[in-house]
Amino acid sequence: MKSTHPLTLVALALIGMCLQTPAAAQTSPIWSEEKVPNYLPHMTVPEVRDLLTRTDMVIIPVTALEQHGLHLPIGTDYYSGIERAKLIAARTDVLVAPILLPGQSPYHMGFEGTISLSSQTVQQVIVEAAESLIHHGFKRFLILNSHGGNQATTTFIVDRINHETAGIAVNLGSVAAPFQDRSRLADIQDSELFDRHGGVGETSRGLYLMPDLVDLEAAVTAELTLPTHMERMLPDVIAGDPTALTVFLAEGLKAEETGKGTSADQMSSTGVWSERDPKEATVEQGRLATEVFVDAAVRFIERWKELRPIQ
């Protein structure tokens, strides 16, 4: 009788093992996340329980799901808020609790993919989520707004948590501002050209925080069609005139239904609100801008811990 070659026996054994592997043991072909400490969706109940012995603080990003031109993802504001919150939590040992993707974005509805909620809806969802976290033992809330259109909504959220619940809330962007070392940004700020939504600054932060989602090759300089009186204001806005900036933003980027002619699609060919070419964006600019904010937020949080240690 002819003997079987040892390598053949090994091959047959491996085939048998593969055939016995249950389908349930296979992993999703699109799964790509790694576990992040203190990030609520990744945590188990025992991990949350353990964190509560060390902190009563929570960062809640208030984000948006809206167009960001031809090169940035619709989730730009969501990821900007979440990723910066994770960086802050990694240094301060606080909880990051993402609650809601969309925000208030009615003026971006002219571009496909944008989802807009009313201010009242955003407020209600986040305040009720805060009440759940208070039930579990969290007390202090750092509300991190990552979308300009949520500014007033964020103020209301902070106010409602403070007046309607046992929690204590602050607007993290506002309270971190005095701690920011803006001199570190001097070399990356262009004072000659208007640059806001989806422009060089935001694209640079995207390249740093979510590089795989940025398609820089698709970026083009937007053709802006501002109302004439707003066009005349631009030099003063760029120069930092506080009155010009206030009235410019009060009128700019408003829903088409208001009749102001300042929705995103009425003022920009691509949805980007910038005179600059987004291709000028760099990872280094994004890193610096992110670090300046994160460092400031960390300093505020550590100071709050000193003033009110966990009880």
Percent of the chain residues past pLDDT 70, beyond the cut: 91
Query: What pLDDT score was predicted for residue 187?
Result: 77
Instruction: List beta partners, residue 96.
Output: 39, 59
Nearest to 122 by CA among 148, 144, 99, 103: 103
- φ and ψ of 110, to 5 deg: -75, -10
Over residues 16-33, the pLDDT tens digits come to 555 554 555 688 999 989
* Non-local CB neighbours of 10 within 8 Å, separated by 6+ positions: none
- Cα 155 to the center of its chain, rounded Å: 17
Q: Tell me the Ramachandran region of residue 168: left when phi exceeds 0, alpha when psi lies from -120 to 50, beta otherwise.
A: beta
For the segment 60-80, the average pLDDT, to the nearest whole number, is: 99
> How far apart (Å, rounded) are the C-alpha atoms in residues 56 and 76?
28
- pLDDT band at residue 235 under the 50/70/90 scheme: very high
- pLDDT band at residue 5 under the 50/70/90 scheme: low
- pLDDT band at residue 311 under the 50/70/90 scheme: confident
Percent of the chain residues past pLDDT 90, beyond the cut: 86
Lowest mean pLDDT segment, chosen from 1-5, 75-79, 210-214: 1-5
Q: Which domains does the chain have, with CATH numbers?
A: 40-186+290-305 (3.40.50.10310)
Burial of 155 (0-12, 13-18, 19+ CB in 10 A): middle
> Residues in the chain, how many?
311
Burial of 44 (0-12, 13-18, 19+ CB in 10 A): exposed
| Token output for 262 | 């300042």
Token match 């910066």: residue? 84
Q: Radius of gyration of the chain from Cα atoms?
A: 24
> How far apart (Å, rounded) are the C-alpha atoms in residues 259 and 207?
35
Report DSSP state, residue 68: B
Over residues 249-285, the pLDDT tens digits come to 999 999 999 999 999 999 999 999 999 999 999 999 9
Query: What pLDDT score was predicted for residue 21?
Result: 47
Burial of 4 (0-12, 13-18, 19+ CB in 10 A): exposed
Q: What mean pLDDT, rounded, does the chain reach? A: 93
**Contact (Cβ atoms closer than 8 angstroms) between residue 58 and residue 95:** yes
